[in-house]
Copies of this chain bind each other. A is one copy, B any other.
Amino acid sequence: MPDPDEAYLQIGEVAERTGVTQRTLRFYEEKGLLGPPTRMDGGFRLYSEQDVKRVEHIRRLQDLLGVALAEIKEMVDAEEVLRELRAQYRPDSAIDEKRRQLERAIDVVQGQYGIVKQKTEQMEEMKAQLKERLRTFDRWMKELNELEAKEPVAPG
Copy total for this chain: 2
* Residue with the highest number of chain B CB atoms closer than 10 Å, among A95, A102, A133, A148: A133
Interface residues on A, range: 35 or more
If A64-B122, A95-B147 touch, whether A127 touches B137 (CB-CB below 8 Å) is: no
Q: Residue of B at shortest CB range from A92?
A: B151
Q: Contacts of A122 on B, CB cut-off 8 Å?
A: 60, 63-64
- Contact status of A131 and B102, CB under 8 A, knowing A64-B119, A120-B124: no
Determine the distance from Cα of A67 to Cα of B130 in the docked complex, in whole angstroms.
17
Chain B residues lying within 8 Å of A65, measured Cβ to Cβ, are 66
Query: Could you say which of A9-17, A23-31, A32-40, A106-114 contacts chain B?
Result: A106-114
Q: Which residue of A91, A112, A123 has the most chain B CB atoms within 10 A of its CB atom?
A: A123
Query: Which residues in B have their C-beta under 8 angstroms from that of A116?
Result: 123, 126-127, 130
Q: A65-B66, A109-B133, A109-B134 are known; give 7 further A-B pairs, CB within 8 A.
A: A64-B126, A95-B148, A99-B141, A110-B134, A113-B134, A116-B123, A120-B124
Which listed residue (B113, B126, B134, B138) contacts A127, Cβ 8 A? B113
Report the bound CA distance from A119 to B130 in whole Å. Answer: 14
Q: Which of B106, B120, B148 contacts A134 (CB 8 A)?
A: B106
